[in-house]
Amino acid sequence: MADNMVTKILKEHMEDGSNVEPGEEVSLSIDQALLQDATGTMACLQFEQMGRDRVQVPLAVQYIDHNVIQLDHKNPDDHLFLQGAAAKYGMYYSKPGNGICHYLHVERFAKPGATMVGADSHTTSSGAVGSIAIGVGGLDVALVLGGQPFSTGFPTVIGVELTGELQDWVTPKDVILELLRRRGVAGATNSIFEFYGPGVATIPVTGRTTICNMSIETGATTAIFPSDDRTREWLEAQQRPDDFVELGADEGAEYDEYEHIALDELEPLIAQPHSPGNVVPVSEVAGTKVVQVCIGSSVNSGFEDLAVAAAVLRDKSVAKDLVMTVTPGSRQILNSIAESGVYADLVRAGARMLEPICGPCVGMGYAPPSDAVSVRTFNRNFPGRSGTQSDQVYLTSPTVAAATALYGVITDPRELGEYPDLPEAPMYPAVDDGQILAPAPEDEAGEVEIQRGPNIHEPPEADELPEEFTGTVVIVLPDDISTGDLTPDGVEVMAFRSNVPELAKFTLRRFDSEFPEKAQKMAPGIIVGGHNYGQGSSREHAALAPLQLGIRAVIAKSFARIHRRNLISQGILALLFKNEEDYDKFEEGQELTLPDIREHLENGDTEIPAQLDGTEITLLAQFSERERDMARAGGFRRQLRQQQEESAPKGGEFRHSDSADDQDSQQGGGIS
Give the interface with ligand MIC as residue ranges (CB under 6 A). Answer: 38-39, 66, 120-122, 135, 362, 380, 536-539
Q: Closer to ligand MIC by CB, 183 or 541: give it.
A: 541
The least CB distance from residue 40 to ligand MIC, in Å, is: 9
- In the complex, least distance from residue 123 CB atom to ligand MIC, rounded to whole angstroms: 8
Strand ranges (E), 491-637:
525-528, 551-556, 573-577, 591-594, 607-612, 615-620
Phi, psi for 325 (deg, rounded to 5): -115, 150
- What is the enclosing helix (H) or strand (E) of 352? strand 352-353
Nearer to ligand MIC, 238 or 537 (CB): 537
Q: How far apart, in whole angstroms, are the C-alpha atoms of residue 484 and residue 138? A: 16
Q: State the Cα torsion 71-74-79-85 to the nearest 10°.
A: 180
Neighbours of 180 (CB within 10 A): 24
**Rounded Cα–Cα distance for residues 80 and 523 (Å):** 36
> Cis bond leading into 369, ω under 30°?
no
Report how far residue 111's alpha carbon sits from residue 658's, in angstroms, rounded to the nearest whole number.
40
For ligand MIC, the closer CB: 122 or 457: 122
Q: Minimum distance from CB of 135 to ligand MIC (Å)? A: 6
Helices marked H in 349-407 = 398-407
Task: Go through 484-495 and write b for each residue having 16 or more CB atoms within 10 A of its CB, e for each that does not.
Answer: bbbbbbbbebbb
Least distance between ligand MIC and beta carbon 597 (Å): 31
CB of 241 to ligand MIC, least distance (A): 30
Angle made by CA atoms 504, 509, 511, in degrees to the nearest 5: 135
**Closest to ligand MIC by CB, 103 or 586:** 103
Helices (H) and strands (E) in the chain, counts: 22, 26
CA–CA distance, 81 with 4 (Å, rounded to integer): 42
Residue 39 or 558 having the CB closest to ligand MIC: 39
With CB atoms as reference, the residue minimizing the distance to ligand MIC is: 537
Residue 38 or 82: the one with the smaller Cβ distance to ligand MIC is: 38
- Looking at the Cβ atoms of 7 and 538, the one nearer to ligand MIC is 538
CB distance 489 to 515 below 8 Å? no
Closer Cβ to ligand MIC, 194 or 489, answer by number: 489
Cβ-contact 397, 314 below 8 angstroms: no
Nearer to ligand MIC, 403 or 560 (CB): 560
Min dist. Cβ of residue 38 to ligand MIC (A): 3
**What b/e readout covers 442-477, taking b as 16+ CB neighbours within 10 angstroms?**
eeeeeeeebebbebbbbbbbbeebeeebebbbbbbb
> How many other C-beta atoms are found inside a 10 Å radius of the C-beta of residue 646?
7
Q: Give the end-to-end CA distance of the chain in Å, rounded to a whole number.
A: 60
Distance between CA atoms of residues 69 and 658, nearest Å = 32
Residue closer to ligand MIC (CB basis): 137 or 268? 137
- The nearest distance, CB 173 to ligand MIC, in angstroms, is 16
Decide whether 125 or 520 has the Cβ nearer to ligand MIC: 125
Phi/psi region, residue 244 (left: phi>0; alpha: psi -120 to 50; beta: rest), is beta
CB of 338 to ligand MIC, least distance (A): 26
Cβ atoms within 10 Å, residue 232:
17
CB of 110 vs ligand MIC, minimal distance in Å? 17
CB of 223 to ligand MIC, least distance (A): 15
Q: How far is the CB of 542 from ligand MIC (least distance, A)?
A: 8
User: Which is nearer to ligand MIC, 362 or 601 (by Cβ)?
Assistant: 362
Least distance CB 504 / ligand MIC (angstroms): 15
**For ligand MIC, the closer CB: 107 or 345:** 107
Q: Least Å distance between CB 231 and ligand MIC?
A: 24
Residues 6+ apart with CB under 8 A from 449: 84
Q: Which of 485, 370, 357, 405 is nearest to 36 (CA)?
A: 357
**b (16+ CB within 10 A) / e for 304-329:** bbbbbbbbbbeeeebbeebbbbbbbb
Query: Which H or E element spans position 194?
Result: strand 191-196
Q: Which residue number, 475 or 542, has a Cβ lying nearer to ligand MIC?
A: 542
Residue 434's contacts (CB-CB under 8 Å, 6 or more residues apart) are none
DSSP secondary-structure letter at 124? G
Please, which residue, 340 or 538, has the CB nearer to ligand MIC? 538
Q: Which residues contact 582 (CB under 8 A, 6 or more apart)?
A: 612, 617
User: Shortest CA distance to 551 belongs to which of 633, 668, 436, 643?
Assistant: 668
DSSP 447: G
CB of 127 to ligand MIC, least distance (A): 15
- CB nearer to ligand MIC: pick between 213 and 667: 213
**Min dist. Cβ of residue 66 to ligand MIC (A):** 6
